[in-house]
Amino acid sequence: MNNLGGFFDAPKKRAELDELEKKISEPDFWNDQEKAQKTVQQRSRIEKALQRQENFETGVSDAEVLFEFAATDENSVAELITLINRLEKEVSEAETQSLLAGETDANNAICSIQAGAGGTDAQDWAQMLLRMYLRWAEKRGFKTDVIDEQAGSEAGLKSATFRVEGDYAYGLLASEAGVHRLVRISPFNSGGSRETSFASLFVSPEIDENIEVDIQDKDLRVDTYRSTGAGGQHVNTTDSAVRITHLPTGIVVTCQNQRSQIQNRAVAMQVLRSKLYELELEKRRAETAELEANKQDISFGSQIRNYVLHPYRLVKDTRTKFEVTDVEAVLDGDIDDFIKEFLLFKKSRE
Protein backbone atom coordinates (compact mmCIF):
# COMPACT_ATOMS: atom_id res chain seq x y z
CA MET A 1 0.00 0.00 0.00
CA ASN A 2 2.25 2.77 -1.28
CA ASN A 3 -0.31 5.47 -1.90
CA LEU A 4 -3.56 6.04 -0.01
CA GLY A 5 -4.77 9.06 -1.97
CA GLY A 6 -3.84 12.67 -2.58
CA PHE A 7 -3.41 13.58 1.09
CA PHE A 8 -1.36 10.39 1.71
CA ASP A 9 1.08 10.86 -1.18
CA ALA A 10 4.03 9.16 0.51
CA PRO A 11 6.52 9.12 -2.40
CA LYS A 12 6.11 12.84 -2.95
CA LYS A 13 6.42 13.59 0.78
CA ARG A 14 9.54 11.44 1.11
CA ALA A 15 11.12 13.21 -1.87
CA GLU A 16 10.33 16.57 -0.25
CA LEU A 17 11.82 15.35 3.03
CA ASP A 18 15.01 14.21 1.29
CA GLU A 19 15.42 17.65 -0.30
CA LEU A 20 14.89 19.37 3.05
CA GLU A 21 17.42 17.10 4.74
CA LYS A 22 20.00 18.04 2.11
CA LYS A 23 19.38 21.74 2.74
CA ILE A 24 19.61 21.32 6.51
CA SER A 25 22.93 19.48 6.22
CA GLU A 26 24.53 22.33 4.24
CA PRO A 27 27.29 24.17 6.21
CA ASP A 28 25.76 27.61 5.73
CA PHE A 29 22.20 26.49 6.47
CA TRP A 30 21.83 28.56 9.65
CA ASN A 31 23.26 31.75 8.13
CA ASP A 32 19.73 32.82 7.26
CA GLN A 33 17.86 32.21 10.54
CA GLU A 34 14.40 33.04 9.17
CA LYS A 35 14.72 30.70 6.20
CA ALA A 36 16.27 27.97 8.36
CA GLN A 37 13.44 28.05 10.91
CA LYS A 38 10.81 27.73 8.20
CA THR A 39 12.67 24.79 6.65
CA VAL A 40 12.94 22.97 10.00
CA GLN A 41 9.22 23.53 10.66
CA GLN A 42 8.38 22.23 7.20
CA ARG A 43 10.47 19.11 7.82
CA SER A 44 8.66 18.50 11.10
CA ARG A 45 5.24 18.73 9.43
CA ILE A 46 6.26 16.29 6.67
CA GLU A 47 7.69 13.84 9.21
CA LYS A 48 4.41 13.93 11.12
CA ALA A 49 2.44 13.34 7.90
CA LEU A 50 4.59 10.33 7.02
CA GLN A 51 4.27 8.96 10.55
CA ARG A 52 0.50 9.36 10.33
CA GLN A 53 0.44 7.40 7.07
CA GLU A 54 2.62 4.65 8.55
CA ASN A 55 0.24 4.37 11.50
CA PHE A 56 -2.71 4.29 9.11
CA GLU A 57 -1.20 1.50 7.01
CA THR A 58 -0.48 -0.49 10.18
CA GLY A 59 -4.08 0.02 11.25
CA VAL A 60 -5.40 -1.20 7.89
CA SER A 61 -3.27 -4.35 8.15
CA ASP A 62 -4.55 -4.96 11.69
CA ALA A 63 -8.11 -4.48 10.46
CA GLU A 64 -7.63 -7.14 7.79
CA VAL A 65 -6.49 -9.63 10.43
CA LEU A 66 -9.30 -8.74 12.83
CA PHE A 67 -11.82 -9.09 10.00
CA GLU A 68 -10.78 -12.71 9.52
CA PHE A 69 -11.18 -13.48 13.23
CA ALA A 70 -14.42 -11.51 13.58
CA ALA A 71 -16.47 -14.31 12.01
CA THR A 72 -15.95 -16.51 15.07
CA ASP A 73 -14.71 -14.17 17.83
CA GLU A 74 -16.89 -11.48 19.43
CA ASN A 75 -13.89 -9.76 21.00
CA SER A 76 -12.37 -9.34 17.55
CA VAL A 77 -15.61 -7.74 16.36
CA ALA A 78 -15.42 -5.13 19.12
CA GLU A 79 -11.73 -4.46 18.40
CA LEU A 80 -12.46 -4.15 14.68
CA ILE A 81 -15.22 -1.59 15.25
CA THR A 82 -12.97 0.48 17.53
CA LEU A 83 -10.13 0.35 15.00
CA ILE A 84 -12.35 1.31 12.06
CA ASN A 85 -13.70 4.32 13.99
CA ARG A 86 -10.14 5.42 14.75
CA LEU A 87 -9.05 5.05 11.13
CA GLU A 88 -12.07 7.00 9.90
CA LYS A 89 -11.17 9.84 12.26
CA GLU A 90 -7.53 9.84 11.10
CA VAL A 91 -8.56 9.95 7.43
CA SER A 92 -10.98 12.80 8.10
CA GLU A 93 -8.26 14.79 9.90
CA ALA A 94 -5.84 14.19 7.01
CA GLU A 95 -8.46 15.32 4.49
CA THR A 96 -9.08 18.48 6.50
CA GLN A 97 -5.37 19.27 6.74
CA SER A 98 -5.02 18.80 2.97
CA LEU A 99 -7.38 21.77 2.55
CA LEU A 100 -5.04 24.08 4.47
CA ALA A 101 -2.48 25.61 2.15
CA GLY A 102 -2.53 29.30 3.13
CA GLU A 103 0.65 31.18 3.97
CA THR A 104 -0.10 31.20 7.71
CA ASP A 105 -2.45 28.20 8.03
CA ALA A 106 0.21 26.12 9.82
CA ASN A 107 0.78 28.83 12.46
CA ASN A 108 -0.41 28.98 16.04
CA ALA A 109 -3.57 31.04 16.60
CA ILE A 110 -4.42 34.11 18.67
CA CYS A 111 -8.17 34.11 19.40
CA SER A 112 -10.45 36.73 20.93
CA ILE A 113 -14.02 36.14 22.12
CA GLN A 114 -16.31 39.13 22.62
CA ALA A 115 -19.79 39.08 24.17
CA GLY A 116 -22.37 40.84 22.01
CA ALA A 117 -26.07 41.62 22.23
CA GLY A 118 -27.90 39.79 24.99
CA GLY A 119 -26.64 41.21 28.30
CA THR A 120 -25.75 38.67 30.98
CA ASP A 121 -26.86 35.81 28.73
CA ALA A 122 -24.38 36.93 26.07
CA GLN A 123 -21.57 37.14 28.62
CA ASP A 124 -22.42 33.62 29.82
CA TRP A 125 -22.48 32.51 26.17
CA ALA A 126 -19.01 34.01 25.65
CA GLN A 127 -17.71 31.87 28.51
CA MET A 128 -19.40 28.77 27.03
CA LEU A 129 -17.68 29.47 23.69
CA LEU A 130 -14.32 29.84 25.42
CA ARG A 131 -14.81 26.46 27.09
CA MET A 132 -15.85 24.91 23.75
CA TYR A 133 -12.68 26.02 21.97
CA LEU A 134 -10.41 25.10 24.88
CA ARG A 135 -11.98 21.62 24.97
CA TRP A 136 -11.55 21.31 21.19
CA ALA A 137 -7.88 22.22 21.50
CA GLU A 138 -7.40 19.77 24.40
CA LYS A 139 -8.89 16.91 22.39
CA ARG A 140 -6.47 17.66 19.53
CA GLY A 141 -3.51 17.74 21.87
CA PHE A 142 -2.96 21.47 21.32
CA LYS A 143 -1.53 23.67 24.04
CA THR A 144 -3.63 26.66 25.15
CA ASP A 145 -2.91 29.77 27.15
CA VAL A 146 -5.61 32.20 28.28
CA ILE A 147 -3.91 35.58 27.92
CA ASP A 148 -6.66 37.83 29.22
CA GLU A 149 -10.20 37.61 30.60
CA GLN A 150 -12.63 40.41 31.38
CA ALA A 151 -15.30 39.11 33.74
CA GLY A 152 -18.98 39.84 33.07
CA SER A 153 -20.97 42.15 35.30
CA GLU A 154 -23.02 39.28 36.79
CA ALA A 155 -21.74 36.10 35.15
CA GLY A 156 -19.63 34.89 32.26
CA LEU A 157 -17.14 37.01 30.33
CA LYS A 158 -17.23 40.32 28.53
CA SER A 159 -14.19 39.22 26.54
CA ALA A 160 -11.31 36.75 26.53
CA THR A 161 -8.11 36.33 24.54
CA PHE A 162 -6.35 33.00 24.29
CA ARG A 163 -3.52 31.40 22.34
CA VAL A 164 -3.67 27.96 20.71
CA GLU A 165 -0.36 26.24 19.93
CA GLY A 166 -0.35 23.34 17.49
CA ASP A 167 0.12 22.44 13.83
CA TYR A 168 -2.45 24.25 11.66
CA ALA A 169 -4.18 25.83 14.68
CA TYR A 170 -4.76 29.06 12.78
CA GLY A 171 -5.93 27.41 9.57
CA LEU A 172 -8.47 25.35 11.49
CA LEU A 173 -9.74 28.04 13.84
CA ALA A 174 -9.97 30.70 11.12
CA SER A 175 -12.99 28.71 9.90
CA GLU A 176 -14.71 29.54 13.20
CA ALA A 177 -14.20 33.32 13.03
CA GLY A 178 -17.46 35.23 13.13
CA VAL A 179 -20.62 35.70 15.18
CA HIS A 180 -22.17 32.75 17.07
CA ARG A 181 -25.85 32.86 18.11
CA LEU A 182 -27.36 30.98 21.05
CA VAL A 183 -31.09 30.40 21.63
CA ARG A 184 -32.13 28.92 24.98
CA ILE A 185 -34.26 29.32 28.09
CA SER A 186 -32.34 31.93 30.05
CA PRO A 187 -30.90 30.71 33.39
CA PHE A 188 -30.78 34.38 34.46
CA ASN A 189 -34.46 35.15 33.91
CA SER A 190 -36.85 34.11 36.68
CA GLY A 191 -39.69 34.05 34.16
CA GLY A 192 -38.07 31.24 32.22
CA SER A 193 -38.30 33.09 28.92
CA ARG A 194 -36.46 32.13 25.76
CA GLU A 195 -33.50 34.41 25.08
CA THR A 196 -31.23 34.96 22.09
CA SER A 197 -27.63 35.97 22.72
CA PHE A 198 -24.56 36.58 20.61
CA ALA A 199 -20.78 36.34 20.94
CA SER A 200 -18.03 36.60 18.36
CA LEU A 201 -14.71 34.90 17.71
CA PHE A 202 -11.86 36.71 15.96
CA VAL A 203 -8.76 34.74 14.95
CA SER A 204 -5.27 35.90 13.95
CA PRO A 205 -2.17 33.87 13.06
CA GLU A 206 0.61 34.09 15.61
CA ILE A 207 3.51 35.85 13.92
CA ASP A 208 7.08 34.96 14.78
CA GLU A 209 9.78 37.55 15.27
CA ASN A 210 11.13 36.98 11.78
CA ILE A 211 8.04 38.52 10.16
CA GLU A 212 8.25 42.29 10.27
CA VAL A 213 5.20 44.26 11.37
CA ASP A 214 5.87 47.99 11.51
CA ILE A 215 4.79 49.31 14.92
CA GLN A 216 5.91 52.82 15.88
CA ASP A 217 6.18 53.76 19.56
CA LYS A 218 4.38 57.03 18.81
CA ASP A 219 1.37 55.01 17.63
CA LEU A 220 0.97 53.22 20.96
CA ARG A 221 -0.75 54.17 24.19
CA VAL A 222 0.26 51.85 27.02
CA ASP A 223 -1.80 51.75 30.21
CA THR A 224 -1.18 49.65 33.30
CA TYR A 225 -3.72 48.59 35.87
CA ARG A 226 -4.19 46.09 38.66
CA SER A 227 -4.91 42.55 37.54
CA THR A 228 -8.20 41.03 38.61
CA GLY A 229 -8.58 37.44 39.65
CA ALA A 230 -10.38 34.90 41.75
CA GLY A 231 -8.97 36.21 45.01
CA GLY A 232 -6.17 35.12 47.33
CA GLN A 233 -2.86 34.56 45.58
CA HIS A 234 -4.42 35.34 42.18
CA VAL A 235 -4.93 39.03 42.94
CA ASN A 236 -1.99 41.30 42.17
CA THR A 237 -1.19 44.14 44.54
CA THR A 238 0.73 46.02 41.84
CA ASP A 239 -0.30 47.47 38.48
CA SER A 240 1.06 44.56 36.46
CA ALA A 241 -1.74 44.21 33.87
CA VAL A 242 -1.09 45.96 30.54
CA ARG A 243 -3.45 47.49 28.00
CA ILE A 244 -1.98 48.63 24.66
CA THR A 245 -3.96 50.76 22.22
CA HIS A 246 -2.76 51.04 18.63
CA LEU A 247 -3.91 54.57 17.82
CA PRO A 248 -3.99 54.41 13.99
CA THR A 249 -6.26 51.34 13.90
CA GLY A 250 -7.98 51.55 17.28
CA ILE A 251 -6.98 47.95 18.08
CA VAL A 252 -6.82 47.36 21.85
CA VAL A 253 -5.06 44.37 23.41
CA THR A 254 -4.72 43.51 27.08
CA CYS A 255 -2.80 40.94 29.08
CA GLN A 256 -2.99 40.32 32.82
CA ASN A 257 -2.28 36.62 33.33
CA GLN A 258 1.53 36.71 33.29
CA ARG A 259 3.66 37.08 36.42
CA SER A 260 5.00 40.58 35.79
CA GLN A 261 4.24 43.78 33.92
CA ILE A 262 7.20 43.13 31.60
CA GLN A 263 5.85 39.69 30.68
CA ASN A 264 2.32 41.03 30.24
CA ARG A 265 3.60 43.77 27.94
CA ALA A 266 5.62 41.28 25.86
CA VAL A 267 2.59 39.02 25.38
CA ALA A 268 0.33 41.99 24.62
CA MET A 269 2.77 43.19 21.94
CA GLN A 270 2.82 39.69 20.41
CA VAL A 271 -0.99 39.71 20.23
CA LEU A 272 -0.95 43.21 18.72
CA ARG A 273 1.56 42.17 16.06
CA SER A 274 -0.62 39.20 15.12
CA LYS A 275 -3.77 41.32 14.91
CA LEU A 276 -2.06 43.96 12.78
CA TYR A 277 -0.75 41.24 10.48
CA GLU A 278 -4.23 39.76 10.15
CA LEU A 279 -5.60 43.23 9.43
CA GLU A 280 -3.13 43.59 6.57
CA LEU A 281 -4.11 40.17 5.24
CA GLU A 282 -7.76 41.22 5.31
CA LYS A 283 -6.96 44.32 3.29
CA ARG A 284 -5.29 42.16 0.66
CA ARG A 285 -8.26 39.79 0.55
CA ALA A 286 -10.65 42.69 0.24
CA GLU A 287 -8.72 43.99 -2.74
CA THR A 288 -9.28 40.66 -4.51
CA ALA A 289 -12.90 40.37 -3.33
CA GLU A 290 -12.10 37.33 -1.15
CA LEU A 291 -12.82 38.81 2.27
CA GLU A 292 -15.74 37.17 4.05
CA ALA A 293 -17.94 39.43 6.17
CA ASN A 294 -16.97 37.91 9.50
CA LYS A 295 -16.50 41.10 11.49
CA GLN A 296 -20.07 42.32 11.48
CA ASP A 297 -22.19 43.64 14.33
CA ILE A 298 -22.41 40.99 17.03
CA SER A 299 -26.18 40.74 16.77
CA PHE A 300 -29.06 39.14 14.85
CA GLY A 301 -28.56 38.50 11.15
CA SER A 302 -24.77 38.43 11.19
CA GLN A 303 -24.14 35.00 12.72
CA ILE A 304 -22.16 32.22 11.05
CA ARG A 305 -23.72 29.56 13.27
CA ASN A 306 -26.86 29.03 15.35
CA TYR A 307 -26.90 26.96 18.54
CA VAL A 308 -30.51 26.21 19.49
CA LEU A 309 -31.28 24.59 22.86
CA HIS A 310 -34.99 25.46 22.89
CA PRO A 311 -37.67 24.75 21.57
CA TYR A 312 -35.63 22.07 19.74
CA ARG A 313 -31.96 21.11 19.83
CA LEU A 314 -29.81 21.86 16.79
CA VAL A 315 -26.50 23.44 15.80
CA LYS A 316 -26.51 24.73 12.22
CA ASP A 317 -23.86 26.62 10.24
CA THR A 318 -25.46 29.36 8.18
CA ARG A 319 -22.69 29.28 5.55
CA THR A 320 -22.51 25.57 4.74
CA LYS A 321 -25.98 24.54 6.05
CA PHE A 322 -24.24 21.68 7.89
CA GLU A 323 -26.12 20.76 11.08
CA VAL A 324 -26.04 18.33 14.02
CA THR A 325 -28.55 17.61 16.77
CA ASP A 326 -26.05 16.61 19.50
CA VAL A 327 -25.68 20.11 20.94
CA GLU A 328 -23.91 18.91 24.10
CA ALA A 329 -21.13 17.26 22.07
CA VAL A 330 -20.60 20.42 20.04
CA LEU A 331 -20.43 22.60 23.15
CA ASP A 332 -17.93 20.09 24.55
CA GLY A 333 -15.58 20.76 21.63
CA ASP A 334 -16.72 18.39 18.88
CA ILE A 335 -16.56 20.94 16.06
CA ASP A 336 -14.22 19.23 13.59
CA ASP A 337 -17.07 18.38 11.22
CA PHE A 338 -18.11 22.04 11.08
CA ILE A 339 -14.52 23.07 10.35
CA LYS A 340 -14.11 20.48 7.61
CA GLU A 341 -17.44 21.36 5.98
CA PHE A 342 -16.50 25.04 5.86
CA LEU A 343 -13.06 24.31 4.37
CA LEU A 344 -14.70 22.16 1.68
CA PHE A 345 -17.27 24.91 1.08
CA LYS A 346 -14.51 27.50 0.79
CA LYS A 347 -12.51 25.28 -1.57
CA SER A 348 -15.53 24.81 -3.84
CA ARG A 349 -15.83 28.56 -4.26
CA GLU A 350 -12.20 29.16 -5.24
301 φ/ψ sector (left φ>0, alpha ψ -120 to 50, else beta)? left
* pLDDT grade for 200, boundaries at 50, 70 and 90: very high
To the nearest whole number, what is the mean pLDDT of the chain?
85
Report pLDDT digits (tens) over 221-241: 999 987 765 443 444 446 789
* pLDDT grade for 285, boundaries at 50, 70 and 90: low
* pLDDT grade for 8, boundaries at 50, 70 and 90: low
Instruction: Kindly report the backbone phi and psi dihedral angles of residue 243, in degrees, each rounded to the nearest multiple of 5, phi listed first.
Output: -120, 125
The continuous run of DSSP H or E covering 109 comes out as: strand 109-115
CA–CA gap between residue 19 and residue 42 (Å, rounded)? 11
For 109-348, CATH number out of 2.70.70.10, 2.60.120.890, 3.30.70.1660, 3.40.50.720 equals 3.30.70.1660
Domain spans of the chain?
6-98, 109-348
Eight-class DSSP state of 107: S
CB-CB neighbours of 83 under 10 Å = 16
CATH number, span 6-98: 1.20.58.410
What is the model's pLDDT at position 290? 46
Report pLDDT digits (tens) over 265-277: 999 998 998 888 8
Report pLDDT digits (tens) over 131-157: 999 999 999 999 999 999 999 989 999
291 φ/ψ sector (left φ>0, alpha ψ -120 to 50, else beta)? beta
CB-CB neighbours of 186 under 10 Å = 19
Q: Do residues 147 and 163 lie in contact, with contact meaning Cβ atoms separated by under 8 Å? A: yes
CB-CB neighbours of 136 under 10 Å = 22
Highest-scoring range by mean pLDDT, 81-95, 235-249, 280-294? 81-95
What is the model's pLDDT at position 3? 39
Report pLDDT digits (tens) over 329-343: 999 999 999 999 999
Q: Say what percent of the chain tops pLDDT 70.
A: 87
Same fold for the pair 6-98 and 109-348: no
Q: Which residue has the higher pLDDT, 227 or 347?
A: 347
Output the CA–CA distances (angstroms, integers) from residue 64 to 55, 77, 80, 85, 145, in the order listed. Answer: 14, 12, 9, 14, 42
Q: Do residues 125 and 188 lie in contact, with contact meaning Cβ atoms separated by under 8 Å? A: no
CA–CA gap between residue 322 and residue 343 (Å, rounded)? 12
Residue range 88-98: mean pLDDT, rounded: 84
Highest-scoring range by mean pLDDT, 41-45, 103-107, 242-246? 242-246
Output the CA–CA distances (angstroms, integers) from residue 128 to 135, 261, 315, 335, in the order listed. Answer: 11, 29, 14, 14
Highest-scoring range by mean pLDDT, 35-44, 92-101, 310-319? 310-319
Highest-scoring range by mean pLDDT, 36-50, 133-147, 293-307? 133-147
Q: Say what percent of the chain tops pLDDT 90.
A: 45
Residue range 64-76: mean pLDDT, rounded: 87
Is pLDDT at 288 greater than 90 in this prediction? no
Report the sign of the C-alpha dihedral through residues 185, 187, 189, 195, in that order.
Answer: negative
Report the sign of the C-alpha dihedral through residues 271, 233, 152, 120, in that order.
Answer: positive
Is pLDDT at 49 greater than 60 in this prediction? yes
CA–CA gap between residue 73 and residue 63 (Å, rounded)? 14
Contacts of 134 (CB under 8 A, 6+ apart): 144, 146, 162, 333
- The DSSP annotation for 58-87 comes to HHHHHHHHHHHHHTT-HHHHHHHHHHHHHH
Helix axes 74-98, 33-70, angle to 10 degrees: 150
Contacts of 288 (CB under 8 A, 6+ apart): none
